Chain A
Amino acid sequence: MNALILLSILAILVLYLGLYKAKNALLPVSLLGLGAGLILALLEWNSGAAPIYDGMMHFDNFAVAFTSIGIISTMLILLISKDYFEHISDNVAEYYAILLFALVGILVMVSFNNLSMLFIGIEIMSVSLYILAGIRKNDYKSNEAALKYFLTGAFSTGFLLMGITFIYGSTGSFDLGLIKNYVISNPAEISPLLYTGLILMIIGLSFKVGAAPFHFWTPDVYEGSPTIITAFMSTAVKTAGFAAFLRLFMICFAPLHDFWMPVLLVISVLTLFIGNVTALYQHSFKRMLAFSSISHAGYLMFAIIALGPDSVNSVVLYAAAYSIASIIAFAVLILVKRQTGSDNFESFNGLARQNPFIAFTLTIAMLSLAGIPLTAGFIGKFMMFSTVLSEYHVWLVVMAVINAVIGIYYYLKVVVAMYFKSAERSEIQSSPYFNFVIGFSAMLTLIFGVYPSFISNLF
């Protein structure tokens, strides 16, 4: 709760800094505020928090873990946004403020204990993202992304709200605890409205996390939005979506596992195949990352399918690994695009000769996304697969392994371009901020890959 208040005030403070033209203070103040928010959130670890404000919020360890992932990703993204927003327009302070507001929404989403809070959290985050997707006002692709995101987002919110209404109609409450009591106390005579509501909520949330068959907005929106915003969407936002998904199903609907499990199973397998197979055919690195983010949604879904005590742990680890690796990928993409003006695979040709450090970190990120051992991505995939295996979904793991193999092909395409294809190019001038972010993230990826117990035994 303290972190939530702090971040809200921070966003307003940033707006005021913009008003008084204190441009140089924006980044340090935002980062300091985020750091303080992170500390406040971490202080609540294991504090035995109870639901607060009439059971509206519950800042438990689950919320702390996902809040930390969100805040750290945002800090790293803000670091690489240095000079980026200035290229777009003069109103930099507003961009920072809206980004921080989106983070507030994420905090609400990961700590909700009442369906009304879930809805408000998702809306705060989504509305901020609709705006951020369209901040390049003179770029048609950005306009298209914002409009598409807004329309599909508003449409999916309809499903979500309808689902919440049906659940309220059958249980008579928005409170997660009371819904759970309802589900447990009358297993024989659960109202059919609850099942309808459950399916509608699955549809709404699948839209938000970009899982097939509700993924069709993802590639265009990710490609059209400014790269920084895409990085934010595919890290912090995706993590928050899955946290909300998992929290809802873990607390309320675990007893109805047999009912919704087949639905999620189909969604997950579809997501894996559509994401991975389409990613094979992409020429643009950014679009490839968009499809790869769809396919990672499929892997993350495994934890919800095999709902159990290990689910939270595997989602935290997988989401952290995926976020860190994505941040490296997007940071390098920004650097390359700034130099060559294109985000195709060809623009990475010969990068290793001129910028060995950047090429090396990008290689680590790609290996982590592909799930090669000694990187965080491998540990994430390993935990996901073992949770699913413990529930005896052997053929699901077989599918997932096939998809992981497909994934290796397109992730390594960029590595091949960097190391084995030559091209005339000059050295990319990278700022210390960029070097810090990609170096730090690559280090984290390796640390989690070698000593996963740092993060895998949290719960």
Chain B
Amino acid sequence: MSISLFYFVAFLTIFFALLVIFSKNPVHSVLYLIVTFFTFTLHYIMLNAQFLAIVNFIVYMGAIMVLFLFVLMLLNLNEGSIGSKSNLLKMVGVIAGMCLIITLVGSLRALDTSDPLVLQTQDLGLVKNLGKVLFSKFLLPFEISSILLLSAMIGAVLLAKKDIKQV
């Protein structure tokens, strides 16, 4: 039962991911991307990774994708306004993408595959364990990321604020 469920969700993921790149309308693309992220959430739940599932659901699907959608609507990009790429550029893109796929698939094939559903450690993705690790072993990176956020925040205010003095 659950293995077929996994393959079904995996199929949906790839299907919607393909729709993202093949749809002509950017707004549709973003909507398909949201569905793709939703199927990721399902994968995380099946892997018992609570925290990732929640974060993926709230942050990616909720916040970031809605932001995407807003930007697209503000830019008023419609079908055809993106402009067509030359065939040469398309060829280059296809070749580069295929090379990357071959490398990644090749390296994955050479690995021992494990059962996609049997977890080695059952409680790996629980919020409780993640919190413990974050506040013990990874305390320093956690604290230092505050500097990252602070500088980004100052920068955002600095760039967005209207300057009275004109140069």
Contact = CB atoms under 8 A, between A and B. Distances in A.
Interface in A76-118: 87-91, 94, 97-98, 101-102, 104-105, 108, 114, 116-117
Interface string A396-413: 000000000000000000
B148 A87 contact: no
B159 A137 contact: yes
Interface in B93-117: 103-104, 106-108, 110-111
Interface string A139-179: 10000000000000000000000000010000000000000
Contacts of B145: 120
B141 A120 contact: yes
A15 B154 CA distance: 10
A53 B136 CA distance: 9
Secondary structure class of chain B's binding surface, majority of residues: helix
A56 B158 contact: no
Interface centre among A15, A54, A124, A193 (most CB of B within 10 A): A124
Interface string B72-103: 00000000000000000000000000000001
A108 B151 contact: no
A131 B155 contact: yes
A131 B159 contact: yes
Contacts of B150: 12, 101
Contacts of B155: 98, 127-128, 130-131
Contacts of B148: 105, 120, 123-124, 127
A116 B141 contact: yes
Contact of B154 (A54, A90, A94): A94
Interface residues of B, number: 30
A207 to B, nearest CB: 15
Contacts of B141: 56, 114, 116-117, 120
Contacts, number: 96
Contacts of B165: 89-90
A124 B159 contact: no
Contact of A104 (B111, B147, B161, B163): B147
Nearest to B137: A54
A124 B111 contact: no
A181 interface: no
B140 interface: yes
B152 interface: yes
B154 A136 contact: no
Given A91-B158, A97-B154, A130-B155, A192 B144 contact: no
Interface of B: 103-104, 106-108, 110-111, 136-141, 144-145, 147-148, 150-152, 154-155, 158-159, 161, 163-167
12 contacts: A88-B167, A90-B165, A91-B158, A97-B151, A102-B151, A105-B148, A124-B147, A127-B151, A131-B152, A137-B159, A191-B110, A192-B110
